């Protein structure tokens, strides 16, 4: 009887072990596929951008994915990736820009965001151990020195260009009673908006002395801190005028 139980237990343990290896292998392949997709965009479109009409760049991006909304590009080159938007926020949690399955997902606007909102948010995964995939590089902004060299980014869609400057890098614990509501799209009053921004600045992990227009549009780049918690790394930026 004991020998029989031991065999069953051993077999179950072996199945779990093999299953874990297969899952790990599957996830590794999906991460590699995400990296290959990013490299493919670089070769197919971005590396040719200076040689072709800029409008063609955005036409090609829309041809690949009609959900394309903007190209997010840090002035420093830290991140240069397309941003999409779908009717369901879960869509691009596990689909790459070309529509294929991939655990690295794609950068995406919250499904409720509209162009003229006072505050918009772009979500993206951190793929731990892969320093250049999706929003993983944002974690480097927690270093003051690194932050200073990566404060400016743009959003372009082929017709408009918005330039943003980062004013806060903070951790938002969504399980906490004191969490900031990053899903706000418009504020009750200008005072409420300024209070929100000031609270984010007060929580910043890096020192920022950026002068900004309190009436300008704001944007949050948001990613996960780890695989388990509800903590999110939030990068708050305000659109520069003129």
At residue 212, the pLDDT reads: 87
Q: Any idea what the CATH number is for the domain that residue 89 is in?
A: 2.40.260.10
- Could you tell me which residue, 119 or 133, shows the higher pLDDT? 119
Minimal CA–CA distance to 212: which of 223, 204, 224, 201? 201
Torsion of CA 126, 103, 105, 206, to 10 degrees: 0
pLDDT tens, position by position, 48-94: 555 456 778 899 999 999 999 999 999 999 999 999 999 999 999 99
Minimal CA–CA distance to 27: which of 104, 141, 96? 104
Residue 21, domain member (yes or no): no
For range 111-116, the mean pLDDT: 94
Q: Quick one: the chain helix, strand, coil %, rounded to 5?
A: 35, 25, 40
The pair phi, psi for residue 86, each rounded to 5°, is: -125, 175
Range of the domain at 184: 34-239
CA distance 70 to 90: 19
What is the sign, positive or negative, of the torsion defined by CA atoms of 204, 210, 214, 218? negative
Minimal CA–CA distance to 108: which of 128, 88, 127? 88
CA distance 75 to 21: 40
At residue 52, the pLDDT reads: 57
Residue 9, domain member (yes or no): no
Residue 1, domain member (yes or no): no
Residue 27, domain member (yes or no): no
Residue 226, domain member (yes or no): yes
Residue 124, domain member (yes or no): yes
Residue 103, domain member (yes or no): yes
Q: What is the total count of domains within the chain?
A: 1
State the pTM of this model.
Answer: 0.81
The pair phi, psi for residue 89, each rounded to 5°, is: -65, -20
Residue 24, domain member (yes or no): no
Minimal CA–CA distance to 97: which of 128, 134, 65? 65
Instruction: Flag the least confident range among 67-81, 99-113, 117-131.
Output: 117-131
């Amino acid at each position: 009887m004991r020998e029989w139980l031991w065999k069953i237990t051993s077999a179950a343990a072996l199945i779990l072990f093999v299953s874990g290896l297969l899952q790990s292998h599957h996830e590794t392949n999906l991460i590699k596929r995400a990296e290959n997709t990013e490299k493919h965009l670089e070769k197919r479109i971005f590396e040719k951008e200076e040689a072709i009409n800029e409008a063609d760049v955005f036409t090609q991006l829309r041809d690949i994915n009609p959900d394309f909304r903007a190209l997010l590009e840090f002035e420093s080159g830290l991140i240069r990736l397309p941003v999409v938007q779908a009717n369901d926020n879960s869509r691009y949690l596990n689909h790459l820009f070309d529509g294929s399955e991939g655990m690295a997902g794609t950068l995406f606007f919250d499904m409720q965001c509209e162009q003229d909102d006072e505050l918009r948010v772009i979500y993206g995964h951190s793929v731990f151990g892969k320093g250049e995939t999706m929003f993983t590089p944002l974690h480097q902004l927690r270093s003051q020195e690194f932050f200073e060299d990566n404060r400016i980014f743009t959003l372009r869609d082929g017709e408009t260009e918005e330039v943003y400057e980062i004013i806060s890098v903070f951790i938002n614990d969504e399980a906490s009673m004191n969490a900031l509501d990053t899903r706000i799209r418009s504020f009750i009053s200008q005072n409420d908006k300024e209070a929100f921004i000031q609270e984010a600045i007060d929580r910043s992990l890096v020192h920022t002395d950026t002068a900004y227009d309190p009436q300008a549009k704001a944007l949050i780049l948001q990613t996960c801190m780890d695989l388990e918690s509800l903590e999110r790394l939030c990068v708050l930026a305000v659109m520069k005028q003129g």
